[in-house]
A and B are shown apart, each in its own frame.
Chain A
Amino acid sequence: MKTVFIDGLGMLGPGIENWQQARSALLSGALKLDEPLTLSGQSPLPANERRRASRLSKIALQVAGEAMADAALEADEVATVFASSCGDLDIVHKICTALTMEGKPVSPTQFHNSVHNAQAGYWAISQHAKKASNSISACADSFAMGLLEALTLVEVEQTPVLLVAYDRPAPVPLFGAAMSQAEFATALLISPNRSTDSLAMIETNMVTKCSVVSGISECVNKALEPLRNSCPAAMALPLLEALVNPAQQSVALDCPGANCIEVKVNSCA
Chain B
Amino acid sequence: MKSSLLSIRAYTLSNALGLGVQASLDGLRAERSGLRECRLPNIDLNTWVGQVDGLENVVLDQNLAEYNCRNNRLAELALQQDGFIDHVQQSIDTYGANRLGVFMGTSTSGIEETENAYQHMPADAENMPDWYHYRYTQNIFSIADFVRLRLGIEGPALSISTACSSSAKVFATAYRYILCGLIDVAVIGGVDSLCQTTLYGFNSLELVSDKPCSPWDADRKGINIGEGAGFALLERDSNRDGIHLLGYGESSDAYHMSTPHPEGDGAMLAMQQALSRAGLKPEDIDYINLHGTGTKSNDASEDRAVSRLFGDTVACSSTKAWTGHTLGAAGITEALFSCLFLEHGFMPKSLNTKILDPECRANILREQIVKPLQATMTNSFGFGGSNCSLIFGALN
Bitwise, B88-100 to A at CB < 8 A (1) or not (0) is 0000000001100
Tell me the nearest residue of chain A to B42, going by C-beta: A99
Check: A267 CB closer than 8 A to any chain B CB.
no
Given known contacts A127-B254, A149-B158, A255-B156, is B132 in contact with A177 (CB within 8 Å)? Answer: yes
B163 to nearest A CB, angstroms? 4
Residues of chain A within 8 A of B132, CB atoms compared: 177
A134:B173 contact, CB within 8 angstroms: yes
B182:A206 contact, CB within 8 angstroms: yes
Complex Cα distance, B266 from A248, in Å, reads 42
Given known contacts A138-B159, A172-B126, A259-B154, is B254 in contact with A125 (CB within 8 Å)? Answer: yes
Which one of B59-67, B141-149, B225-233, B298-306 contacts A?
Answer: B141-149
A209 to nearest B CB, angstroms? 10
Check: B127 CB closer than 8 A to any chain A CB.
yes
Check: B125 CB closer than 8 A to any chain A CB.
yes
A257:B118 contact, CB within 8 angstroms: no
Check: A198 CB closer than 8 A to any chain B CB.
no
B98:A174 contact, CB within 8 angstroms: no
Q: Within the complex, which residue of A96, A118, A132, A172 is in contact with B384, where a contact is CB–CB below 8 Å? A: A118
A100:B386 contact, CB within 8 angstroms: no
A116:B107 contact, CB within 8 angstroms: yes
Interface residues of A in 123-145 (CB under 8 A from B): 124-125, 127-139, 142, 145
Interface residues of B in 88-129 (CB under 8 A from A): 97-98, 107, 111, 114-115, 117-119, 121, 123, 125-128
A135:B205 contact, CB within 8 angstroms: no
Residues of chain B within 8 A of A1, CB atoms compared: 180-182
Q: Within the complex, which residue of B44, B203, B252, B265 is in contact with A124, where a contact is CB–CB below 8 Å? A: B252
Complex Cα distance, B200 from A124, in Å, reads 27
Check: A86 CB closer than 8 A to any chain B CB.
yes
A117:B254 contact, CB within 8 angstroms: no
Check: B201 CB closer than 8 A to any chain A CB.
yes
Residues of chain A within 8 A of B133, CB atoms compared: 177
B191 to nearest A CB, angstroms? 14
B270 to nearest A CB, angstroms? 9
Q: Within the complex, which residue of A104, A128, A136, A152 is in contact with B180, where a contact is CB–CB below 8 Å? A: A152
Given known contacts A108-B205, A259-B156, is B115 in contact with A124 (CB within 8 Å)? Answer: no
A106:B201 contact, CB within 8 angstroms: yes
B207 to nearest A CB, angstroms? 9
Complex Cα distance, B114 from A106, in Å, reads 15
Complex Cα distance, B142 from A87, in Å, reads 13
Residues of chain A within 8 A of B175, CB atoms compared: 156
B173:A133 contact, CB within 8 angstroms: no
A117:B386 contact, CB within 8 angstroms: yes
Spell out A's residues near B (CB within 8 Å): 1, 85-87, 92, 95-100, 104-108, 111-118, 120-122, 124-125, 127-139, 142, 145, 148-149, 151-153, 155-157, 172-179, 206, 208, 255-259
Q: Mind listing 22 A-B residue pairs with CB under 8 Å?
A: A85-B140, A100-B123, A108-B258, A112-B201, A114-B197, A115-B107, A115-B163, A115-B384, A121-B384, A121-B386, A128-B254, A138-B141, A139-B139, A142-B141, A149-B158, A155-B179, A156-B179, A176-B128, A179-B134, A206-B156, A256-B156, A257-B97
Given contacts A145-B156, A177-B127, 17 further A-B contacts (CB under 8 A): A85-B141, A86-B140, A96-B111, A99-B115, A111-B202, A115-B383, A116-B163, A125-B254, A127-B254, A130-B251, A155-B179, A173-B125, A206-B156, A255-B157, A257-B155, A258-B154, A258-B155
